[in-house]
Amino acid sequence: MISAPRTATDRTKLPYCHESFHNLQELRHSASLANKVFIQRDYTDGTICKFQTKFPSELDSRIERTLFEDTVKTLNNYYAEAEKIGGQSYLEGCLACLTVYLIFLCIETRYEKVLKKISRYIQEQNEKIYAPRGLLITDPLERGMRVIEISVYEDRGSSGSSSGSSTTSSSGR
């Protein structure tokens, strides 16, 4: 177990990236939530699930633009794969029709499989890239596929942060 830093400056370099997912929960509860950034959907290609890759200005100082865009583009690719209309989806659809759609109760559809992949990907991105920067991505599925919600956390120990944490952090912790 790593001994925790005692000074304020050391706390800014907390090694979140060594932690397990359990500690992402701790991140939510221990650091103070400063802001939430919402990435909206991009409807230019129709009703398929696709998010805007425009880099929000609130994240300017928190994460590199390329990392963010990569994440969103990968998510868009996953959703495109889930909603792809092609051989496999036709097969699934015809089979479902022949079995009076009871097959949806028995097997996992391709969409559901891809959603699981997306969830694992988001968890991995959170652990490796976003949590060390004090950010957390919420799976769009939990927000009705409308937005990608990025929670911006302010580290308790960092002095000069103006939002959220109200108590003093300099009282010799």
Partner 1 sequence: MKNCEYQQIDPRALRTSTTRTSSTLPCGRKNSQRLRKKWEIFPGKNRFYCDGRIMLARQCGVLPLTIVLIVITSGLFFTFDCPFLVRHLTIFIPVIGGVLFVFVIFTLLQTSFTDPGILPRALPDEAADIERHIDNSGSSTYRPPPRTKEILINDQVVKLKYCFTCKMFRPPRTSHCSLCDNCVERFDHHCPWVGNCVGKRNYRFFYAFIVSLAFLTSFIFGCVITHLILESQKAGGIIQAIQNMPASIVELVICFFSIWSILGLSGFHTYLVASNLTTNEDIKGSWSSKRGEDSGNPYTYNNIFTNCCAVLCGPMPPSLIDRRGFLPPDDAPQTVTSDAELPPFMAKNDTNMEENCQDFALSCTA
Q: Which residues bind partner 1 (CB under 8 A)?
A: 1-6, 11, 14-15, 18-19, 23, 26, 29-30, 32-36, 38, 41, 43-47, 82-85, 89-90, 92-94, 96-97, 100-102, 104, 109-112, 115, 141-147, 149, 164-167, 171-173
Q: How far is the CB of 110 from partner 1 (least distance, A)?
A: 6
**Which CB atom, from 37 or from 70, has the smaller least distance to partner 1?**
37
Whole-angstrom distance, CA of residue 78 vs CA of residue 49: 10
CB-CB contact of 38 with 81 (8 Å)? no
**Which CB atom, from 84 or from 133, has the smaller least distance to partner 1?**
84
Type of residue numbered 31: A
**Which CB atom, from 65 or from 146, has the smaller least distance to partner 1?**
146
Q: How far is the CB of 11 from partner 1 (least distance, A)?
A: 7
Type of residue numbered 22: H
Whole-angstrom distance, CA of residue 64 vs CA of residue 74: 16
CB-CB contact of 127 with 17 (8 Å)? yes
Q: How far is the CB of 134 from partner 1 (least distance, A)?
A: 14
DSSP class of residue 171 equals S
**Which CB atom, from 11 or from 133, has the smaller least distance to partner 1?**
11
Among 144, 143, 152, smallest CA distance to 37 is for: 152
**Which CB atom, from 60 or from 104, has the smaller least distance to partner 1?**
104
Q: How far is the CB of 135 from partner 1 (least distance, A)?
A: 14
- The answer for residues whose C-beta is within 8 angstroms of residue 87's C-beta and 6 or more apart is none
Tokens representing residue 92 in the block: 């699934």
